Structure 1
Amino acid sequence: MRLRGDEFRPSAGRYAFRVVQPRPALRHTTLSDPLRGWGYLVGDHDGLARLAALFSFAAYSRHTVVHVPLRDSVPRTYAPGVPVDLVLAHRSLGLRPSVWPSLRRGLTRGTPGTVRTDEQRTADHAAAWQARWEQRWERLDPVDRIRPAVHARTLFLFGARDTFASASVQLEVAAGFGPRHKRAAKGYDVLVTSLTTHLPLSRGRHTELDIGFQAYPPYAHFRRPGRSASRRSRTAASP
């Protein structure tokens, strides 16, 4: 898959990073802070599909920060919690959330470009992570968990190749199966899958990060997969 984006090279003191943002912005996708309540990532098909590609890109881009602005997305009728942006980065990159506000101020003049993802490679590494999780979910190596942190109204997800690949597949599932739900045609959000199993285990309050689908309004444009836009509803008099 090819994904359009802007590339930036901001610096804060002695720290400098390559940052990639999707272009255009994901206008119909929102995210709530999972550390201050229920973490809920909900979007339309385009938003979830592009997020899947961004997670896949992050999986194989150890030296790149993926920044997804979501706070300015179109507000939803049901939007629990505190809205946050999203940042994906490898654990090995050494990005500290405390320097992010300075880096974010440098995201002003990006260079347009295109990033590519390999769906089969992503699926293979996602399957490898899933196999390890099924064998020893309670004893996973820290590298096999996505570590969340929140700072400056931004959710940071620090992961590695296989964890980001697995998260990408879950977003693909949400983009593919969410529109098939009966509630989707009525404009309701549909809880499809979750990234909670990717997060560290905790003894206190359980951190959750679920993924849902919701078509963007007006809902008259939306048709569930398999239904033609011109197909009439069958009546009792129909043969």
Structure 2
Amino acid sequence: MRLRLTEFRPRTGPRTHRVVQPRTPLRHTSLRDPEDTYGVLIGDHDGLNRLAGLFSFAACSRHTIVHVPLRDGVPPDEGRGEPVDLVLAHPEAGLRPGGWPELRRRLGRGTPLTVRTDEARTARARLDRPYAATTLRHTTHACTYFLIGGRSAFASAATAFALAAGRGPRHPCAAEGRAAFVTCLSGELAPDPGLRRHPEIVIAFKPYPPYAHFRRPGR
């Protein structure tokens, strides 16, 4: 997949960070704060497909912070919790959630960047070395949900988003303009001792309004 991004090189103290964002926003994709109960991510085909690409890119980019602004899109009419942005990073990127607000303020204008992801490589990363499989640490800070972890967990999440983008439009609920719950991120997320249940992010497909434009594949 080809991803059109904007690249930033903000500096905090002695360190220069590499941050990328989608060049155009995911207008019809939203994430409800998973720290409340469980997270709900609802997106149209474009949003879910691009998230699959962004997670795939994050899996192979240990020193890059992937920032996905989601709060400025079309407000969702389903799900509970506050809308949040999304940040993906490896520990090697040196990102502290508490330092994100300052880093975000320093992003500036940025420069265009186009990258290609390798879906076959992502699939291999999800399956290779199962004994070394990792989970994603997660927290919410400054209206942003952070996922910090390793290659295999990001690759597994990329596969889940690709599945949702492919199967979601075929779900009967989609033709009625309702969210179709397709899959979730659960095993990819690290357990949280403070929660009574294992953390989970439900991934749902929903066509963008007006729904008259949408036709289920094969119809």
- Scaled to the shorter chain, the TM-score interval is over 0.9
Say yes or no: does 1:120 pair with 2:120: yes
Partner of 1:237: none
User: Quick one: distance in 2 between partners of 1:201 and 1:75?
Assistant: 29
**SS state at 2:208 partner:** coil
1:12/1:99 contact within 8 Å kept: no
User: Quick one: distance in 2 between partners of 1:107 and 1:37?
Assistant: 31
User: Quick one: distance in 1 between partners of 2:20 and 2:83?
Assistant: 21
Say yes or no: does 1:209 pair with 2:201: yes
**SS state at 2:70 partner:** coil
User: Quick one: distance in 2 between partners of 1:164 and 1:12?
Assistant: 26
- How far residue 128 of structure 1 moved from its aligned partner, in angstroms, is 3.1
Structure 2 counterpart of 1:182, from 167, 172, 179:
172
User: Quick one: distance in 2 between partners of 1:66 and 1:222?
Assistant: 30
Say yes or no: does 1:196 pair with 2:186: yes
Structure 2: give runs of 5+ residues left out of the alignment. Answer: none
**SS state at 1:156 partner:** strand
Say yes or no: does 1:21 pair with 2:13: no
Please tell me the root mean square deviation across aligned C-alpha atoms, in Å: 1.5
Partner of 1:91: 91
TM-score scaled by structure 1? 0.87
Partner of 1:105: 105
User: Quick one: distance in 2 between partners of 1:94 and 1:169?
Assistant: 25
- 1:24-75 per-residue CA deviation (whole Å, 9 max, x = no partner) reads 1000000011112221111000000000000000011111000000011101
Say yes or no: does 1:153 pair with 2:143: yes
* Aligned length in residues: 217
Partner of 1:79: 79
**SS state at 2:145 partner:** strand
Question: What does residue range 52-63 of structure 1 map to in structure 2 within 5 Å?
Answer: 52-63=52-63
- 1:144-179 per-residue CA deviation (whole Å, 9 max, x = no partner) reads 111101110100100111111110000000000011
- How far residue 97 of structure 1 moved from its aligned partner, in angstroms, is 0.6
Say yes or no: does 1:218 pair with 2:210: yes
The structure where helix makes up a greater share of residues is: 1
Structure 1: give runs of 5+ residues left out of the alignment. Answer: 133-139, 228-239
User: Quick one: distance in 2 between partners of 1:63 and 1:92?
Assistant: 6
User: Quick one: distance in 2 between partners of 1:180 and 1:157?
Assistant: 29
Partner of 2:30: 30
**SS state at 2:215 partner:** coil
Partner of 1:169: 159
Rg (Cα) greater in structure: 1
Seq. identity, %? 58
